[in-house]
Chain A
Amino acid sequence: MTAHDEAALAQRQVALIDLLDRLLSGGVVLTGDLVLSIADIDLVRIALRAVIVGVQEDDRWGLTIRGHGPEGTSGERAP
Chain B
Amino acid sequence: MDEELSYAYAVVRPTAALPEGPLTGVTGVASGAVRLVGAGAVAAAVGSVPRDDFSEAALKVHLENLDWLERVARAHHGVVEFLAAHTTVLPLRLATVYVDDDRVRDVLRRGQETFTRMLNRFADHVEWGVKVYAEIPRGPAAPEEADTAVSDPGRTYLRRRRQQREDRGAAWSAAAEAVRRIEAEAGQIAVEWARHRPQQGQLAVGTGENVANDSYLVPGSRSEEFRERVRRSTQELRGVRVEITGPWAPYSFAVLPEPEASEEGPRP
11 contacts between A and B (CB under 8 A): A10-B206, A21-B199, A27-B251, A30-B107, A35-B56, A36-B266, A39-B93, A46-B60, A47-B63, A51-B69, A54-B200
Q: How far is the CA of A68 from the CA of B179 in the complex (A)?
A: 14
Asked whether A5 is an interface residue with its Cβ less than 8 Å from the other chain, the reply is no
Given A26-B91, A29-B93, A72-B55 contact (CB < 8 Å):
no
Of the listed residues A21, A22, A46, A79, the one surrounded by the most CB atoms of chain B closer than 10 A to its CB is A22
Q: How far is the CA of A64 from the CA of B209 in the complex (A)?
A: 12
Given A21-B213, A47-B63, A75-B194 contact (CB < 8 Å):
yes
A-B contact number at CB 8 A: 208
Contact with A54, one of B73, B191, B201 (Cβ below 8 angstroms): B201
Contact yes or no, A32 B199, CB < 8 A: no
Rounded to whole Å, the gap between the CB of B117 and the closest CB of chain A is 12
By a CB distance below 8 angstroms, the chain B residues around A64 are 172, 176, 211
Interface of B is mostly: mixed
Contact yes or no, A23 B198, CB < 8 A: no
Q: How far is the CA of A14 from the CA of B97 in the complex (A)?
A: 27
By a CB distance below 8 angstroms, the chain A residues around B212 are 65-66
Contact yes or no, A26 B93, CB < 8 A: yes
Q: How far is the CA of A31 from the CA of B93 in the complex (A)?
A: 10
Contact yes or no, A43 B199, CB < 8 A: no
Asked whether B83 is an interface residue with its Cβ less than 8 Å from the other chain, the reply is no
**B residues apposed to A, CB below 8 Å:** 5, 8, 11, 54-56, 59-60, 63-66, 69-70, 73-74, 76-77, 90-99, 103, 107, 111, 118, 127, 129, 172, 175-176, 179, 187, 190-206, 209-213, 215-216, 245, 248, 251-256, 261, 264-266
By a CB distance below 8 angstroms, the chain A residues around B76 are 23
Q: Which residue of B lies closest to A74 (CB)?
A: B194
In the A-B complex, the 8 residue pairs with the closest CB atoms: A22-B251, A26-B251, A78-B193, A27-B93, A74-B194, A52-B201, A17-B203, A26-B252
Given A29-B256, A34-B55, A65-B212, A58-B198 contact (CB < 8 Å):
yes
Contact with B253, one of A15, A26, A47, A49 (Cβ below 8 angstroms): A26
Q: How far is the CA of A25 from the CA of B95 in the complex (A)?
A: 12
Known: A26-B91, A79-B187; 8 extra A-B contacts, CB below 8 A, are A22-B196, A27-B91, A46-B60, A50-B69, A52-B199, A54-B201, A72-B197, A74-B195
By a CB distance below 8 angstroms, the chain B residues around A28 are 11, 90-93, 118, 254-256
Q: How far is the CA of A43 from the CA of B127 in the complex (A)?
A: 23
By a CB distance below 8 angstroms, the chain B residues around A22 are 91, 127, 196, 215, 248, 251-252
By a CB distance below 8 angstroms, the chain A residues around B94 are 23-24, 27, 43, 47
